[in-house]
Every structure is written in structure tokens, then in C-alpha cells.
Amino acid sequence: MPFIADLGDGTVHPMLLDEIDRLKSEIDKLRPFEGRGLDQLKAYYRIGLTYTSNALEGNSLTESETKVLLEDGLTVGGKPLRDIYEATGHAKAYDHMYTLLSNPTITAADVLALHRLFYHQIDSSQAGAYRQEPVIISGSQYPTVAPSKIKNAMSDFFDWLSRHESSLHPVTFAAEAHKRFVFIHPFIDGNGRVARLLMNLCLLRRGYTIAIIPPVLRASYIARLEEAHVDDGPFMKFIAERVLETQRDLLRLF
């Protein structure tokens, strides 16, 4: 597929969205995913998303170690306890994500629940609660929202979600939701993990596959997210390309 530039205004190039929609049509022909096949598909991405999302944040578990932990319930010797908790917590949040697909809209309670499930074993006092102190994102020159303004910022965020979920292309909507959430940075920790779960929830609710961001693309992902403060076109294109590649991966599986 030839290189497709972003439009520079937060809009994913129509040719890229057209290719995503074309592959969605191919995947839709394989539906419905039911029974054992559906369970296997969820389990496959449960491991894949848990591993990649945690690895992007510095978790030391490999994909095979994540699989052993989540599927066999066996702990991995020599690994930090926090890394174990991040994997088991993310898997619980991933499972909960599927219960939210048919809800009328995405609410504050939904996002707080995702964070609570992910973070409970790490710090139960902060799990599912907006932060009460300022945070600085390492490597970023842009400030996050002040603690006193988080509640109002998140209220505006959920209002934006409800108003735009049906009007924007699902991939554009998911990428924009991810960006807006991270810029608010409502939690003391775990914002990236929740942002990617939220992004994938947005995609699944509209019948699209999830977007996997492999650790090898960490530098590009962070750079484009930082750049999105002034020009979000490259970030939107980056997320769209990850959706496209995950679609191709799914079609290879079948």
C-alpha cells in the first residue's frame, strides 16, 4: 500500500479510512464470531493487548510470560510484583470492556471502572478515582490538567463523546478520544493503559477491530502523541495504521 499522508487538520486521509472500511467488510463476511471461535479471538487479543499496552509503559513481562500468567495462572519468577499486578489488572479491565459495548454511551462510571480494575492491586486508594495532585509527564513540554479542573474537564470529555460518537468515522473518533483523554491525564497513574482501552472500546462499539500498538513503535507513538498538542494529523494517521494492521492480522488468523 503506498504512503498516505495525513491531512494536517486532525482528519485521517479518506484513502486510509476507505482501506480500513474495505477490510472491515471482509471481516464482516466472517461474522458472526460465536462460541469457541469467539472465545479464542477474545483470548488472543486479551494477551496481545495486555502485553503490548503494558510493555509500552515499561512492563518487563514478555508476551509468552503474559500468556502463562493469564491463561495458566502461573507467576513468573524474578519479575517485579507490580508487573504481575499490571498484567492481571489489565486483563480484568479488558474483560470488563466487552460488557460496555451495548451501552447507550460511554460514561464516567465506565472509565472509572476500567481504571479501578486495572489499578486496584497496585494502589487501591487511587484506583478508580481522579487524581488529587499534579503530575508531570516525563519527556513532555506540555502540562496536564490541574487537579482542581479535572472533574469539569472529564465532564466536558464525556459530553464530547456522546455528541460525536455517531457523527465521526469510528477510527477518527477513537483516536481523538485517546488523545483528549491523555491530555487531561485524570489518574495518578495508568492513563495510557486506560486511554488505549477506551480507544479500543470506541472501535469495538462500532464493529471495528481493536488497535494493537507494538512496543517496537513506542518512540513513534510517544512522539506523535506529543506532536498532537499542535498538529494531531500524524497521530490520527498512526492510530489508523494500527487499526489497519490489526485487521490484516485478524484476516490472517482466519
* Portion of the chain with pLDDT greater than 70, in percent: 96
pLDDT tens string 108-128: 999 999 999 999 999 999 999
Instruction: Give pLDDT, residue 92.
Output: 98
Q: Report, as residue numbers or ranges, the catalytic residues.
A: 185
Q: Which pLDDT band holds residue 75 (cuts at 50, 70, 90)?
A: confident
The C-alpha angle with vertex 51 and arms to 108 and 187, in degrees rounded to 5, equals 30
- DSSP SS3 for 105: coil
d(CA 160, CA 204): 18
Mean pLDDT across the stretch 16-36?
91
**Hey, what's the torsion of the CAs at 27, 43, 185, 128, to 10 degrees?**
130
d(CA 140, CA 185): 13
Structural domains in the chain plus CATH codes: 26-129+137-253 (1.10.3290.10)
* Portion of the chain with pLDDT greater than 90, in percent: 84
